[in-house]
Structure 1
Amino acid sequence: MLVNADFSLPVVVTPARYRWTSSPQGGVERVMLDRIGAEQARATSIVRYAPDSSFPAHAHPDGEEILVLSGVFSDESGDFPAGWYLRSPSGSSHQPFSREGALIFVKLRQMAPDDDSRLRIDTRDPANWEQHGQGARCPLFSNAHEQVCLQRFAPGQALSGAWEGGAELLVLEGELLAGGQRCERGSWMRLPAGTRPQLVAGEAGVCFYLKTGHLARLAKGTQ
């Protein structure tokens, strides 16, 4: 299966374009944002757990990255409410579930071979944020291959600079204006290497997940 699999093209998926599909496990649905492969795939998805739903134990070849968007996501290592960032390296495994229901952003099989990091970060903790220009930044992960953070921008503030290695964004609060398009909460965009985006925070400001650098590896035919 191929979904938005040409990484040389920009992609924007707003909530109005979400297409929910059932997973093999009852009570768990997903929106496929990009995907290469069948059930065992390199994938970026929004996943929705119904209350009292679970997924069988499984391993993570090439790692898993999760940002909890709402509800409470759980596995044998603990309960993670909205705002938690979870990063598990290749070879890790878990049996996820949710008692009250949860919405999560998930990236599967996208870590570099030398990435063995395991992270659990509460992005709702003010201690994890730092001033960044006119806004604020919550660093999540950085290595030679990619950089991951959350960023907040004030109303009307432009996102300056070009991301030479490409960028991927998920709007968490407020909205981004991308040219003539309004990208509200839940909007996901992927900008290929070399793109010079014209992005501006909406009238209420914006908070978004940002990953940079990783698309350069794909452009070279590696993951």
Structure 2
Amino acid sequence: MQLRSDFSTREVVHLGDEDWRASPMPGVDRMMLDRVGDEVARATTIVRYAPNSRFSQHSHDGGEEFIVLEGTFNDEHGSYPKGTYVRNPIGTSHSPFVGDDGCTILVKLHQFQPDDLAPVVIDTANAAFRPGMVAGLSVLPLHAHGTESVALVRWAPDTQFNPHTHWGGEEIFVLEGTFRDELGDYPSGTWIRSPHGSKHTPYTGPEGALILVKVGHLPNDS
């Protein structure tokens, strides 16, 4: 399966643009954002667990990165409430399950560098943000390896950022509020993938925004 698999193009998926698709496990549905491969794939996906559902034990041959969007995600290693950011390196395994409240996660599979071996669990709801590069921005770094960097960025209302170029690309998932740039408006639930060399000048309006952002990880053919 090839879905938004040309990483040299800009892609935007708003909440509701894609249908939910059943996974191989009962009660677990997926909204695919990008995918290269079939059941085992390089993939970016929103996964929705119905109350009291589970997924079978599996290994992360290419690594797994996720953030909990709603509910509480569980496995044999712990419980991860809304806002928890997790990285399970290549070779790890687990058996996910959820309780009465169900759960929704944004997950990226088969996207780790082979030497990126650090497991990460961050409760972002209780973590301290740092001042950002401009007034009105605050940042919570989540992970960095090689050229790749992942962070949460909180935008106060009516914040303007500088024009900039995405070396190694940029991916954004809007968690709260509405993120904006000269190309459009992106309310909560929107996923944006901008290729290497792309440019924009982002800002927010009166509602502000909270975004998950990853940079420096997409192919650079130059």
The TM-score with structure 2 as length reference comes to 0.94
2:48 corresponds to: 48
Matches within 5 A, 1:145-156: 145-156=147-158
Question: Aligned AA for 1:72?
Answer: T
Cα offset, 1:121, TM superposition:
0.3
**1:15 counterpart SS class:** coil
**1:53 counterpart SS class:** coil
Change in Cα spacing, 1:147 to 1:180, as seen in structure 2 (3 Å) is closer
Query: C-alpha separation between the residues in 2 aligned to 1:145 and 1:23?
Result: 33
2:20 corresponds to: 20
Question: Aligned AA for 2:191?
Answer: W
Aligned length, in residue pairs: 218
**2:125 counterpart SS class:** coil
1:102 corresponds to: 103
- Kept in 2, the 8 Å contact 1:174–1:202? The answer is no
**1:31 counterpart SS class:** strand
Change in Cα spacing, 1:144 to 1:177, as seen in structure 2 (3 Å) is same
1:30-83 deviations in Å (ceiling 9; x for gaps): 111000000000000000000000000000012000100110011011111100
**1:121 counterpart SS class:** strand
1:88 corresponds to: 88
Cα offset, 1:126, TM superposition:
3.7
Cα offset, 1:16, TM superposition:
2.8
Matches within 5 A, 1:51-200: 51-99=51-99, 100-127=101-128, 129-132=129-132, 133-134=134-135, 135-160=137-162, 161-179=164-182, 181-200=184-203
1:142-175 deviations in Å (ceiling 9; x for gaps): 1213000000112222332222111000000101
1:178-213 deviations in Å (ceiling 9; x for gaps): 335321111000000111023221321011000000
Matched, 1:4 2:4: yes
Gaps of 5+ in 2: none
Structure 1 or 2: larger helix share?
1
**1:67 counterpart SS class:** strand
Question: Aligned AA for 1:46?
Answer: I
Query: C-alpha separation between the residues in 2 aligned to 1:165 and 1:159?
Result: 19
2:33 corresponds to: 33
Cα offset, 1:23, TM superposition:
0.4
- Kept in 1, the 8 Å contact 2:29–2:48? The answer is yes
1:211 corresponds to: 214
Query: C-alpha separation between the residues in 2 aligned to 1:83 and 1:184?
Result: 18
Gaps of 5+ in 1: none
Cα offset, 1:220, TM superposition:
4.0
Query: C-alpha separation between the residues in 2 aligned to 1:16 and 1:58?
Result: 29
RMSD: 1.4
Query: C-alpha separation between the residues in 1 aligned to 2:205 and 2:26?
Result: 37
Question: Aligned AA for 1:162?
Answer: T
Query: C-alpha separation between the residues in 1 aligned to 2:74 and 2:93?
Result: 13
Query: C-alpha separation between the residues in 2 aligned to 1:159 and 1:2?
Result: 34
Query: C-alpha separation between the residues in 2 aligned to 1:90 and 1:59?
Result: 8
1:83-123 deviations in Å (ceiling 9; x for gaps): 00000100000000111200100000000011001011011
